[in-house]
Amino acid sequence: MDKPLVLLHLDTDALPSVFDRVVAVDAGVQHLFSYGGVTPANVVALVHGCIFTRGPKDLHRTAIFVGGSDVDAGEAVLAEVKKHLIPAYGLSVSVMLDSNGANTTAVAAVRAAAKHLDLAATTSLVLGGTGPVGRRVARLLAKHGGRVTIGSRQLDRAEAVARSIRAAYPSAHVEAVAVASSADGPKALDGKHLVVAAGAPGTVLLPKKLRAGATALKVAIDLNGVPPTGIEGVELTDKGTDRDGHTAYGALGVGGTKMKIHKAAVAALFTGNALTFDLDEIDALAETLG
Ligand SMILES: NC(=O)c1ccc[n+]([C@@H]2O[C@H](COP(=O)([O-])OP(=O)(O)OC[C@H]3O[C@@H](n4cnc5c(N)ncnc54)[C@H](OP(=O)(O)O)[C@@H]3O)[C@@H](O)[C@H]2O)c1
């Protein structure tokens, strides 16, 4: 008889996320072990608890999910987890990173854009492009071959993100722009087919009057779920909705796809015992979901 599906949920916040716990259950996890306050310094015993209990032939029925609100902290935990797996002896489990929903949200946003645009021929502006979600949106857009501009209130922060994307994808067309004042907006939007706003909750990054002057703009995606919306005139529930001649998506419009991708990725963890689901793998999985 198959052993039950066990997910070890490692959260870098003190209280493990209820959201991630519910999604795990809905993805078919039978036993969910959630730990809060996880750091690289205390994760080793938790990993050993996974890999030294079941034999290699059953380890595909144990998996690890790394979450929490701090994406950098999640990345550090993921790196440490991977150091302590021993795949040469089959002592490994699959691992997914989705701190702050950053990976699944970015993949869902880019898939929304791809419904309307040929990404390889798309020129994009990612506002709030220095945050965890925006960085991933920009990276995916660049990976798919488009020209991407990272917007930030501080040019040097946007330039650092652009450099990191070019380091990952040397052929990527990525640049940075300062969007510190409304006077910067027209230049930042000039020639852009797609704008994605990934700013902090409740912050308006793109006023309606600037969007009205963006003649090349076709698709506007806002990921901020806390009103006021990050792109003025785009509603939370927009999902391919026409807003002033632009195809618009709001946070809830993208959120349905994000949930589908998140659940599918958790379920996919149990298809092997040495898989990693980070941004690129979750993007590839989403391609198969249609
Ligand atoms: N729809 C979904 O399913 C879903 C899932 C997860 C997250 N989200 C949303 O996605 C958005 C991005 O998340 P995140 O964690 O990456 O956000 P974040 O780190 O809080 O903020 C992203 C960027 O917004 C800019 N920003 C911060 N405060 C600002 C202000 N007062 N005015 C203008 N810009 C400001 C900053 O860029 P600069 O300092 O470089 O300008 C920051 O790097 C959030 O609104 C989050 O709630 C949605």
The tens digit of pLDDT for each residue in 80-110 reads 999 999 999 999 999 999 999 999 999 999 9
Q: How far does residue 255's CA lie from ligand 1's centre (Å)?
A: 15
Phi, psi (degrees; rounded to nearest 5) at 154? -125, 115
**Whether residue 159 sits in one domain with residue 81:** no
CA-proximal residue: ligand 1, atom 18 (nearest):
200
Q: How far does residue 200's CA lie from ligand 1's centre (Å)?
A: 3
Angle between helices 102-114 and 132-143 (to 10 degrees): 40
- Counting atoms of ligand 1 from 1, which one is nearest the CA of 109? 1
Residues of the chain with pLDDT under 50: none
Domain that holds residue 161: 105-255
**Whether residue 244 sits in one domain with residue 110:** yes
Q: Is 244 left (phi over 0), alpha (psi -120 to 50) or beta?
A: left
**Whether residue 221 sits in one domain with residue 113:** yes
**Whether residue 112 sits in one domain with residue 10:** no
The DSSP element (H or E) to which 97 belongs, if any, is strand 94-97
Q: Quick one: pLDDT at residue 116?
A: 98
CA-proximal residue: ligand 1, atom 31 (nearest):
203
CATH number of the domain at 88, please. 3.40.50.10280
CATH number of the domain at 193, please. 3.40.50.720
- Counting atoms of ligand 1 from 1, which one is nearest the CA of 251? 1
Q: Quick one: pLDDT at residue 183?
A: 84
Q: Quick one: pLDDT at residue 278?
A: 98
Per the structure, the count of domains in the chain is: 2
**Whether residue 233 sits in one domain with residue 158:** yes
Q: How far does residue 171's CA lie from ligand 1's centre (Å)?
A: 27
Provide the token pair at 267.
Answer: 């379920």
Taking the CA atoms of residue 30, residue 36, residue 38 and residue 44 in that order, the dihedral angle to the nearest 10 degrees is -40
| Domain contains 174 | yes
Residue 72 and residue 279: Cα distance in Å, rounded? 14
**Whether residue 72 sits in one domain with residue 157:** no
**Whether residue 197 sits in one domain with residue 124:** yes
Q: Which amino acid is at 118?
A: D
Q: How far does residue 78's CA lie from ligand 1's centre (Å)?
A: 22
| Domain contains 195 | yes
**Whether residue 122 sits in one domain with residue 85:** no
| Domain contains 260 | no
| Domain contains 47 | yes
pTM of the model: 0.96
Q: Quick one: pLDDT at residue 244?
A: 93
Handedness of CA 86, 90, 93, 95 (dihedral sign): positive
CA-proximal residue: ligand 1, atom 20 (nearest):
200
Q: How far does residue 226's CA lie from ligand 1's centre (Å)?
A: 11
